[in-house]
Structure 1
């Protein structure tokens, strides 16, 4: 099984005719199964744009899905923070476009159960299941269950979490005083009367303040924990897939980080461990648009972020008025004008960081089923370094190719360093186009 990160194609022909790009095509198409996270609404702009206060609308024509299929990708997650950029109508149109091309898609649906359920792909040698979810999404973008009187809401499979800021007793007392003396507490009197309880009382633990949750501790810090209801809802389908397929892949989209952008949030690591323990053969993370480390838990790999496999955000052809309003201009802007203004002519943002334009494609090989349980077991991971054209003009970068040997060695060395904190040791081997990483699992 070949695994890719975020696929954000907006123009097409993402695999060029160079030998290294075609080597990547061969890698993806020769695998029994190939996966990517589809982070663009490619449904011919059906629907209506939903306001994104930070990013920009990522939508394009449906034809880019043909490139996805032609590159060998047959399993995609559509659980991410861009899945509803064109509203529920756009999300449902995207699902129709994917399925009409025979692509298995998980992580989004017309209601919660459909969004949670696995997608299956069958091959002569065996089968694979994909369960997908996202921790990063806007309010109301999570799919909702069907009720007794009303239908459910289309959306993504959510992995909610709680974030608590730990502060000293003195700091917490200051926050409570600010809450009282600024009049915020008085403004809530009507709400407290209606709900019949006071979540902001002196005994509240954690204490809610300006959208955050605060708790007294010996020293300041940040703690995150996974939502138990979402965890149970996702693991139900992991266990189901374990009984109905040879391989089980769990995809999770998360922009949230730990103490640094290179580390996953604590809740994400706990979720990944729980998914493996419930029967997943691998957990594939993506979201921060850069590589994070690899952990092996109970003999199975967790990729905390595979970065970008295709990144053509800046070639988006249509944007809503609300996006244009985010950058100062005395005249109407074109799409290029918007992205150029936002990046200050490529002097800030993604264009300046090499880490956003390189990744690895892991290929996980599973050994034949053991006689005892009939279950395939991942036996080795090969890590193929990939570059996306850092430093090239906007219209040429973002398309992946197998890395040249010098770049490949550097990417693998950096990934080895990121993984060392989990006790993961990568071996260096020689592949058809240069060095590759190797991670034995048994």
Structure 2
């Protein structure tokens, strides 16, 4: 019988050392990670060894760059396989991304989600253990234009970057609302400014078909009731799915990592496209989907008895301890004299009154440990994590197993977030919880 355990975590934003502290509860977390056959995290920092140049990244909240030694800290903590597709992967540009690839290869750390071209970024990484194998596929829905990898053409090489999961928004409006939009389009002169495009293309780019009307990048469609939804780019969905099928043939377990900040109807729910994506890759053979990106927990769904963690929040967050910042970040406070990294982050956070510092959910997360017998999920233990909410900046952001009331609060909140998907999370008195697996799966 093949018996394997997988520990899953969310975003790892390590910029300093000793990720596992001398706290006994932190040591217990280290043992948990080291005890799993595979321990996954999302590497959301550029481990720079001097390659690349900072990229303006307003959408990503500024650069997140650290010394290359953080990779040693991450592996020492117990992580053995990394997803790298996220909105900070190219904070040092294409050269910085290629430098990350070189460092990970040199240190023989398995990773997926970035590469020298699109095929390299798309393909799974395979990790073998005496008891069996795991394939990891990593992609990101959140990135800036041009950060997605591209394939080579017969004449030109491909573009280094991340594996993209593009998506689009669709706004449904009533017939009367659509008429108002068309009146605005005509009355403001927008339609007239498309005259050249209509001449060159032979059609109005704002009306690519009788079904859609596009205005400043937003797509509108007539419906009985107003609404808003999102949908995956079909080509990206199909390409990633093909690699899932490939991985299913070649590994005992298949994990799909997806980075997505985009919300659904509320910040705690995923975008509609993300749920459709997760269902598709499980249909194609994935054993588990692990989401991250919004920096707080979202719920879990059991689809075809396979878990989809829509966001596991953070496992390490040392953003405010980063000491490699681009000039454009400092320029935000140029009128206040000479800045150091510490002063910059203190001003950016309003001296701890805004951004992440005052928000307790940011400093809470979970580490699910999944146990498989012959590829069947038989147990899913949930270990709540405390990242030090309210502690000084030099201390918070490093994980420990939560205990007592804090652990129960995290699990209770996670159970509530999972209810809309029909998943049942037990909250015990031992500091851990469990995702209840239907008997048909466990049997």
Task: Flag whether TM exceeds 0.5 (same fold).
Answer: yes
| Deviation for aligned residue 1:184 | 2.0
CA RMSD of aligned residues (A): 1.5
- Structure 1 Cα separation of the partners of residues 20 and 166 of structure 2: 35
Q: Is 1:140 the equivalent of 2:146?
A: yes
| Deviation for aligned residue 1:175 | 2.2
| Structure 2 residue matching 1:421: 3-state secondary structure | helix
| Deviation for aligned residue 1:380 | 1.3
- Structure 1 Cα separation of the partners of residues 129 and 200 of structure 2: 57
| Deviation for aligned residue 1:124 | 0.4
Q: Is 1:198 the equivalent of 2:204?
A: yes
- Structure 2 Cα separation of the partners of residues 217 and 185 of structure 1: 23
| Structure 1 residue matching 2:369: 3-state secondary structure | strand
Instruction: After superposing the two structures, state which structure 1 stretch, 295-304 or 161-170, moved more.
Output: 161-170
- Structure 2 Cα separation of the partners of residues 191 and 170 of structure 1: 27
**TM-score w.r.t. structure 2 length?**
0.95
In the superposition, relative to structure 1, how do residues 116 and 202 fare at CA in structure 2: closer, same or farther (>3 Å)? closer
- Structure 2 Cα separation of the partners of residues 327 and 300 of structure 1: 48
8 Å contact from structure 1 (residues 11, 312) kept in 2: yes
2:168 matched residue in structure 1 = 162
Instruction: After superposing the two structures, state which structure 1 stretch, 68-77 or 422-431, moved more.
Output: 422-431
- Structure 1 Cα separation of the partners of residues 208 and 258 of structure 2: 37
- Which of these residues, 177, 187, 191, is aligned with residue 181 of structure 1? 187
| Deviation for aligned residue 1:340 | 1.7
- Structure 1 Cα separation of the partners of residues 225 and 423 of structure 2: 31
Q: Is 1:48 the equivalent of 2:53?
A: yes
- Structure 2 Cα separation of the partners of residues 386 and 261 of structure 1: 21
| Structure 1 residue matching 2:356: 3-state secondary structure | helix
In the superposition, relative to structure 1, how do residues 412 and 102 fare at CA in structure 2: closer, same or farther (>3 Å)? same
| Deviation for aligned residue 1:430 | 5.7
8 Å contact from structure 1 (residues 295, 302) kept in 2: yes
| Structure 1 residue matching 2:325: 3-state secondary structure | coil
| Deviation for aligned residue 1:264 | 0.6
1:16 matched residue in structure 2 = 21
Please list every run of at least 4 consecutive aligned residues from structure 1 whose deviation after the TM superposition is greater than 4 angstroms. Answer: none
8 Å contact from structure 2 (residues 262, 271) kept in 1: yes
- Structure 2 Cα separation of the partners of residues 110 and 174 of structure 1: 47
2:38 matched residue in structure 1 = 33
- Structure 1 Cα separation of the partners of residues 342 and 185 of structure 2: 44
2:11 matched residue in structure 1 = 6
- Structure 2 Cα separation of the partners of residues 383 and 408 of structure 1: 10
- Kindly tell me the number of residue pairs found equivalent between the two proteins: 433
Q: Is 1:257 the equivalent of 2:302?
A: no
| Deviation for aligned residue 1:322 | 1.5
1:342 matched residue in structure 2 = 348
Instruction: After superposing the two structures, state which structure 1 stretch, 218-227 or 290-299, moved more.
Output: 218-227
| Structure 1 residue matching 2:219: 3-state secondary structure | strand
| Deviation for aligned residue 1:327 | 4.2
| Deviation for aligned residue 1:278 | 0.5
- Which of these residues, 317, 321, 332, is aligned with residue 326 of structure 1? 332
| Deviation for aligned residue 1:231 | 0.8
**TM-score w.r.t. structure 1 length?**
0.95
1:420 matched residue in structure 2 = 419
